[in-house]
A and B are shown apart, each in its own frame.
Chain A
């Protein structure tokens, strides 16, 4: 079954520093992968998705992610963190061949002055 693993439940960066949030997938076939962000007391917002069209995917708010088959990874990056980026980030993959979306355990991003 397809799954994702997010390394690091908490990541802290300084404002202006590089953001790197890690996601590794487990799949026998190339999966479709998603990154969602959840601000406090809100729902999930789609940041970006990988659907095999291009390995480097650009999303909203300056985020991007690169699909690396050799590393089974889909890490999320942003060159310069902003205070407003503080949130919970979830990597997700479809499982079961249908429309069941399975989430990683999430990474809480803290941005410090």
Chain B
């Protein structure tokens, strides 16, 4: 089973709201990722957690706050977002191999976020 689940599927929020996106996997993977994908564009990496520790932050604005409570869960906390943050947010997971470039990533279905 290579399933990564994400909730909610759709989210509409105002610029003053606080919301969270959730991602879960039960494949025993130890690396988890957040990507942002704008329409007609490829996904762009935001954050990487490896063994529950933040290992990569691609200079993402502080209004996006990731959290990895345990090896199966990944959250993305959202606060004071801008309309240009509207996008598909994808979560992915991988085994967390020592040699990263052989570590296949499996993606969830995404959360479609609209910021009004």
A103 CB contact (under 8 Å) in B43, B94, B101, B109: B43
Contact between B109 and A104 (Cβ–Cβ < 8 Å)?
A: no
| Known contacts A32-B102, A99-B101: A43-B107 contact under CB 8 Å | yes
B interface residue count range (under 10 / 10 to 19 / 20 to 34 / 35 or more): 20 to 34
Contact between B110 and A32 (Cβ–Cβ < 8 Å)?
A: no
B90 CB contact (under 8 Å) in A41, A44, A104, A106: A44
List the A side residues contacting B109 at CB < 8 Å. 42-43
List the B side residues contacting A43 at CB < 8 Å. 4, 6, 90, 107-110
Q: Closest residue of chain B to A90, judged by CB?
A: B42
List the A side residues contacting B55 at CB < 8 Å. 98
A51 near B: Cβ within 8 Å? Answer: yes
| Known contacts A99-B48, A106-B42: A44-B104 contact under CB 8 Å | no
B112 near A: Cβ within 8 Å? Answer: yes
A interface residue count range (under 10 / 10 to 19 / 20 to 34 / 35 or more): 20 to 34
B45 near A: Cβ within 8 Å? Answer: yes
Interface 1/0s, chain B 80-107, versus A by CB < 8 A? 0000000000101010000011111111
Further pairs besides A43-B107, A44-B43, A106-B40: 19, Cβ < 8 Å: A31-B101, A41-B112, A42-B109, A43-B4, A44-B90, A46-B105, A46-B107, A90-B42, A94-B101, A98-B55, A99-B33, A99-B101, A100-B48, A100-B100, A102-B45, A103-B42, A105-B42, A106-B41, A106-B42
Closest 3 CB pairs of A and B: A99-B100, A103-B42, A94-B101
Could you tell me which A residues sit within 8 Å of B by CB distance?
A: 31-32, 34, 36, 41-46, 49, 51, 90, 94, 97-106
Could you tell me which B residues sit within 8 Å of A by CB distance?
A: 2, 4, 6, 31, 33, 40-43, 45, 48, 50, 55-56, 90, 92, 94, 100-110, 112
- Can you list 5 A-B pairs, Cβ within 8 angstroms, ordered by A? A41-B112, A44-B92, A46-B105, A90-B43, A99-B101
